[in-house]
Chains A and B, each alone.
Chain A
C-alpha cells in the first residue's frame, strides 16, 4: 500500500510520562513520619507513571486509533503527541504544531460565539486576518446561524460542542488529535465531522483518535495502537489490533497483561470500560429489581457522581451510559433490573437522543431530567427525582474537580443531602434561585476561593438556615472513612473499595450507590496505596469480604493483595465465600 513511502509526521521515541497530582492534604497520613519526611510521595503531592517507554512513528495520511482500557494512559500519550504534556523521558518530534480538539479551554462563556471564534482560532495559531477568512466557514459548519452573536453561556451544550469542533478544525493542523470528541451532536453533525476529519487526513495530515469504542476506531482509522497500563501492547493494522484487543477483553487473564494472582476474599469487579464496570457492579451488587434506574453520561463523571445521592434516595442505581448510544452491557443491565422508569441525567446534549430511543424501545418510561450542562442538571437533580422541599445538607462542589465531587457524593446522606455542582463562573443566579426554593439547613462548600469567593459565601449564608461551611481539607478517602465510621459497626460482611484517583472516578459512580443500597461501607484507596484513614477504618470494620471496583490499572494487584490482610476469616462456619 505504499505505506513505506509516506513521510513521517510524528516520531515518538521511548517516551515516559510521570506527572504530579495534587491530592489535597491527607491528615495523619502514615502517622508522624509524613510531616517529618521530605519524600514528596508521602505528602499532598503524588506521582502517576502514566506512559511507559512508548515509541512509534506516525506518517502523513495515516489515521491512527488509540485504544485501551480506562486509565491506560491513552489521553496522556496524546497530550504528549500534541506537545501539551512534556515527556519526563524520551522525545517527541512533530511536523508543525499539532492541534488537540481542546479549544474549549480558552473560550470565554460570557462572550458571543463570534468573539470566541476569534479567541479560539487565534489560540490555535491563526492570525486575525486568517480568522477573517475562515469566519464564515466556521459559522456555517457549526450550524449556529444568528445565535453566533449571543453569548456562549446561552448555547445548548450541543451548540457549544459544534462550535468548538468547527473552530478546532478550522486551522487545518498537520496533526490533529481527537479525544472522543465525536460523541457530540446529532447524527447529521457527526457525519459531517467525520467527513471533515477525513478531509483533513486527505490533505496529508495525520489524525489521532482516542476512543473506548472499537467501532468508531474501526470506521475511522487504518492503524491502531493499543495501550495497557501505559505500555504499548500492539501497533499495527486496525483490524488485527482490534481483534486482539477484543479477544483479550473477552478472556481477561491472557498472557498480556500478566494474569493477576487470585486473592481469596478480595473480589475484583472490573470491565473493559467504565460502562462495563458500571453495569457489572450493578449486576453483582443488586439482587433485586428496582423501580427506577438513573442513567448518567460516562463522559461527564462529575455529574454522574452528583446524581448518586439523589438516586440512592429513591433506591435507584446510577448506571453510566455512553453519551450517544446504549451499549449492550448497559441495556442488558437495565433489562435485568426491570425498572418502571429510567431517568436520563441531562438534556440531549449530555445524553443523546439515540440513548433515549434505545431505552424507550425496551418498553420503559424515559424521563429526562436536567438541562444543557452538568451544572444545570445537578440543579434539577436536587429536587426532581424525589420532589423534596427541604434538605439537610447541600454540598457545593466545583464541576471540574472530580475529587471534590466524589467527596461530596460520599458525604451526602441519601434522602436528606444532595450534591450541587458549580461551574467556572461560580455562584450563578440560577444556583441561588434553586437553593432559595429549598429550605436547606446547612450548605457545605467544597470549592476554594477561586471558584466561590467570600462574597459568594456571604450570599449563600442567607440561603441556609444554619449557615455555610467551607470544607476543603478531607480527601475523598478521609470522607469515605468518616461516613463509614458513623454508620457501620465492627465485623461487617462486605466492604466496597474503589479508587480515589481522578482518572478512575468512573468506577466509583455505580459502586457508591450500590454499596449504600446494600448497606455496606464504601471506602477508597489509591492506585498503588492504601491511605492511612482507609487502613484504620478497614482494621476497625474487620470485613469478611472485600469487593474491589475497577481493574488492575486503577487498583494494582499489590493493593488487592494488601487488602486481604484486613479480612477476618469466617472459614470456621461458612466454608467457601457466599456469592455476593
Chain B
C-alpha cells in the first residue's frame, strides 16, 4: 500500500484532475482515440464497410427469426404475399373486373403490391431502427448506420420469396419470359438504395423527435396512392398540367414500380429516361441519407 494519495487528516483519496489540455495531451501521447463525437465521413464509411459481415449476419438472423414462432415457419414469407395477390386478384380481377387501362391488370397490381410493400416495410422499420433498439445502441459500439442498413437487408431477405412468386406468377398471367427479366435485380437494387437512403433520414428525424414516428405511416399511405400501386400513374398524371404530372411520374416510388414493370411486363416498354431517373434517385437519396444520418452520429443513444 503506497498510501501516498491520502492526506494526514484522514481525507479521501482524490487526485486532482488534469486540465482538459493536459488530458488531451496525455491521450494523444499514448495514442488513445476519442470515443464520443462523430468520425470523419471517410472513416465512417470505412467503419460501416468493415461491419458488412455483421450487418449481413444480423439481417439474416432477424429474418430467420421472423416466422420462427409460427408452425408453418418460413413458409409464411411465401404465403403472405401469395394470399395478398390472390385476394387482390379476386377483388379486382374477378369481382370488379377492372383494368384501368392496363391489359394484364393482375400482374400490374401484384408488382405494385409486392414492391411498394417492400419499400413501406423498409422505411417503416428503418425509421425506427434506432428508437426501437435503444438498448442495443447503449450496449454496443458500432457505426449506428449499420442499424437502418441492416433493417433494409432484413426486409430484402424477407421479400425474396415474394419476388420469386412474381416470377412464377407472370407466365401464369400470360407474360412472355423475356431477356428484360434480367433487369429486375437492377430495378430492385436501385430501389433498395433509394429506400435505405430515405430510412436513414427517417431514423435521424425520429431520433431528433420521436413524435415524427407517427407521421411516417401517413407519409407511406399518401405515397402508396400517389405511386401507381393500384392504377397506372401515367394515365393518372395525364390529367395534371405538365410540371405536376412529371413530378408524379418521376418521384422515387413511382419510378421503382415503373422499372419493375418494364422488366417483367411486355406492355411496359423499356424507357431509358425512367431508368436514368431511378439511378439518379438511388445515388442521390442514398448519399443524402447517409450524410444526414452521419451528421447525427455521436449523439445517438443519449435518450
Residues of A at the B interface (CB closer than 8 Å) are 1, 3, 7-11, 13-14, 19-22, 45, 55-57, 79-80, 82-88, 90-100, 102-106, 108-111, 115-116, 118-119, 122-125, 127-128, 151, 226, 232-237, 239-241, 244, 256, 400, 425, 428-429, 450
Contacts and interface: CB of A to CB of B under 8 A. Distances in A.
Interface of B: 1-3, 5-6, 12-15, 17-18, 20, 23-24, 26-27, 30-37, 51, 53-54, 57-58, 61-62, 64-65, 68-69, 128, 132-133, 135-142, 210, 298-299, 301-303
B5 A118 contact: no
A10 B27 CA distance: 8
9 contacts: A13-B18, A56-B17, A82-B141, A91-B36, A105-B135, A233-B14, A235-B13, A235-B14, A237-B2
Given A86-B298, A235-B14, A115 B23 contact: no
Contacts of A95: 30-33
Nearest to B38: A86
B139 A91 contact: no
Contact of B12 (A45, A108, A110, A233): A233
Contact of B32 (A93, A105, A234): A93
Contacts of A122: 51, 53-54, 57-58
Contacts of A234: 12-14
A106 B138 CA distance: 11
A83 B57 CA distance: 23
A13 B142 contact: no
A87 B2 CA distance: 33
A92 B24 CA distance: 9
A242 to B, nearest CB: 11
A84 B15 CA distance: 26
Contacts of A90: 20
B57 A237 contact: no
Contact of B37 (A21, A86, A256): A86
A235 B15 contact: yes
Contact of A94 (B33, B54, B139): B33
Rank and list the top 8 A-B pairs by shortest CB-CB distance, nearest first: A236-B13, A102-B139, A20-B303, A55-B17, A93-B27, A13-B23, A83-B35, A93-B32
Given A90-B20, A104-B139, A119-B58, 6 more contacts: A93-B24, A95-B30, A110-B64, A118-B57, A233-B14, A400-B135
A214 to B, nearest CB: 15
A105 B23 contact: no
A96 B53 CA distance: 20
Contacts of B3: 237, 240
B73 to A, nearest CB: 11
B17 A14 contact: yes
Contacts of B17: 13-14, 55-56
A13 B58 CA distance: 35
Contacts of B302: 19-20, 85-86, 88
Given A22-B303, A236-B5, A57 B18 contact: yes
A1 B2 contact: yes
A115 B63 CA distance: 13
Given A8-B32, A85-B138, A110-B68, A241 B13 contact: yes
| Most B Cβ at <10 Å: residue of A11, A79, A118 | A11
A93 B34 contact: yes
A272 B181 CA distance: 70
B69 A425 contact: yes
Contacts of B68: 110-111, 151
Nearest to B300: A86
Contacts of B133: 105
Contacts of A21: 303
A236 B15 contact: yes
Contacts of A235: 13-15
A124 B5 contact: no
B32 A9 contact: yes
A55 B16 CA distance: 9
Contacts of A232: 14
Grouping DSSP codes into helix (H, G, I), strand (E, B) and loop, the B interface class, with mixed when no group exceeds half, is loop
A11 B22 CA distance: 10
B6 to A, nearest CB: 6
Nearest to B32: A93
Given A20-B303, A86-B36, A122-B54, A97 B15 contact: no
A124 B140 contact: yes
Contacts of A425: 69
A461 B292 CA distance: 43
Contacts of B142: 123, 125
Contacts of B31: 95
B26 A57 contact: yes
B9 to A, nearest CB: 11
Given A8-B30, A122-B54, A84 B14 contact: no
A425 B62 CA distance: 13
A235 B16 CA distance: 10
Contacts of B35: 80, 83, 92-94, 98
A100 B57 contact: no
Contact of B54 (A80, A123, A237): A123
Contacts of A237: 1-3, 5, 13
Nearest to A426: B69
| Most A Cβ at <10 Å: residue of B2, B64, B68, B303 | B303
Given A98-B141, A237-B1, A10 B36 contact: no
A84 B23 contact: no
A171 to B, nearest CB: 11
Contacts of B303: 19-22, 45
Contacts of A87: 36
A82 B142 CA distance: 11
Contacts of A241: 12-13
Given A86-B302, A128-B57, A236-B14, A105 B30 contact: no
Nearest to B298: A86
Contact of A84 (B64, B128, B139, B299): B139
B20 A91 contact: yes
Contacts of A82: 141
Contact of A244 (B12, B27, B53): B12
Contacts of B57: 118-119, 122, 128
A94 B32 contact: yes
B299 to A, nearest CB: 6
Contact of A8 (B2, B12, B26, B128): B26
A83 B298 CA distance: 9
B61 A119 contact: yes
Given A92-B36, A100-B140, A127-B53, A86 B299 contact: yes
